[in-house]
């Protein structure tokens, strides 16, 4: 006869089998999903931060915003047990792009770092260098012509045109890494805080700038976003990473009017929150929090 103790265990065993069945179906469902690229423009206040997950689950973080908010955002986009990021990109060592990456270096294991190596005399810059040394990660100095591959996507570095390692520059906006991410037929252009003069230089060199999604330079400032550059890129979607009620008046009305002139759909992190774009290499969809 079945003991009373065993009878009490039967519902528990049935529950375990039921959960195991559900988990098996979840695994089957995940494996059946098409491989997609996810690009998330994170709402980190007045600063830039972009998290990318490739179809092969490589993780790339471009800039980290002005503080620790990026850690919360990574927690929303990565499993809690995943403490490794394949590549972080510091476009330029200004506080609103670099400070959050210092926090990321303290909290995650970073395989590779892409940056210009340009020097700057600020306490945050020294903290960045110290964090890099402690991480003991592979450093890649960005120069035009580099192609970084991650599975079936690649990141083309378009700027800076020369190696800037060790050069002391007070305002590093115009040293920003400009790079184009390509997955199948879809492409994304990341511009850091580059000014109109750099954008004009890229246009004059007749580089391939055409991209479906543009990360608008310098939070939509009037010092950036040269109209001919916008015309050459001609994106379907433009994302402006900007803090709500910021003291700089970003984005500038002239920038918004230029984007609207070319029929480009505008997303702003101060209004839309996080903006996520999912691509299967043929077409893409754009989602936002608000």
pLDDT tens per residue, range 210-245: 999 999 999 999 999 999 999 999 999 999 999 999
Distance between CA atoms of residues 174 and 159, nearest Å:
10
Neighbours of 198 (CB within 10 A): 24
Helix (H, G, I), strand (E, B) or coil at 116: coil
Residue ranges in the chain modelled with pLDDT below 70: 1-34
Residue with tokens 């379907």: 236
Distance between CA atoms of residues 161 and 282, nearest Å:
31
- Where in the chain are the domains? 35-288
Q: Is 247 exposed, middle or buried (0-12, 13-18, 19+ CB in 10 A)?
A: exposed
For the record, the structure tokens of 137 come out as: 């990660």
Distance between CA atoms of residues 127 and 163, nearest Å:
22
* Rounded CA Rg of the chain: 22
Q: State residue 25's pLDDT score.
A: 47
For the record, the structure tokens of 150 come out as: 């991650």
In this structure, which CATH number among 3.60.15.10, 3.60.130.10, 3.30.930.10, 3.40.50.300 belongs to the domain 35-288?
A: 3.60.15.10
pTM of the model: 0.89
Q: State residue 104's pLDDT score.
A: 98
């Amino acid at each position: 006869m079945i003991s009373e103790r065993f009878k009490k265990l039967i519902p528990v065993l049935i529950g375990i089998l039921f959960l195991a069945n559900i988990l098996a179906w979840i695994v089957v469902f995940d494996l059946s999903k098409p491989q997609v690229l996810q690009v998330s423009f994170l709402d980190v206040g007045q600063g830039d931060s972009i998290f990318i997950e490739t179809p092969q689950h490589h993780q790339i973080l471009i800039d980290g915003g002005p503080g620790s908010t990026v850690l919360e955002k990574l927690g929303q986009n990565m499993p809690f047990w995943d403490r490794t990021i394949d590549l972080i990109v510091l476009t330029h060592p200004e506080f609103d792009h670099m400070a959050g990456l210092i926090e990321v270096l303290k909290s995650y294991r970073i395989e590779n770092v892409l940056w210009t190596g340009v020097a700057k005399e600020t306490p945050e810059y020294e903290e960045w260098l110290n964090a890099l040394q402690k991480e003991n990660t592979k450093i890649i100095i960005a120069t035009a012509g580099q192609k970084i591959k991650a599975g079936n996507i690649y990141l083309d570095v378009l700027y800076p045109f020369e190696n800037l390692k060790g050069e002391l520059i007070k305002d590093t906006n115009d040293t920003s890494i400009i790079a184009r991410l390509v997955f199948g037929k879809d492409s994304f252009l990341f511009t850091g805080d580059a000014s109109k003069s750099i954008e004009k230089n890229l246009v004059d060199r007749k580089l391939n700038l055409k991209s479906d999604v543009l990360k608008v330079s310098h939070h939509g400032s009037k010092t950036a976003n040269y109209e001919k550059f916008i015309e050459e890129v001609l994106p379907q979607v433009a994302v402006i990473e900007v803090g709500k009620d910021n003291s700089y008046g970003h984005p500038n009305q002239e920038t918004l009017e230029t984007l609207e002139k070319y029929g480009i759909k505008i997303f702003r992190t101060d209004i839309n929150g996080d903006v996520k774009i999912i691509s299967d290499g043929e077409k893409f969809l754009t989602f936002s929090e608000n």
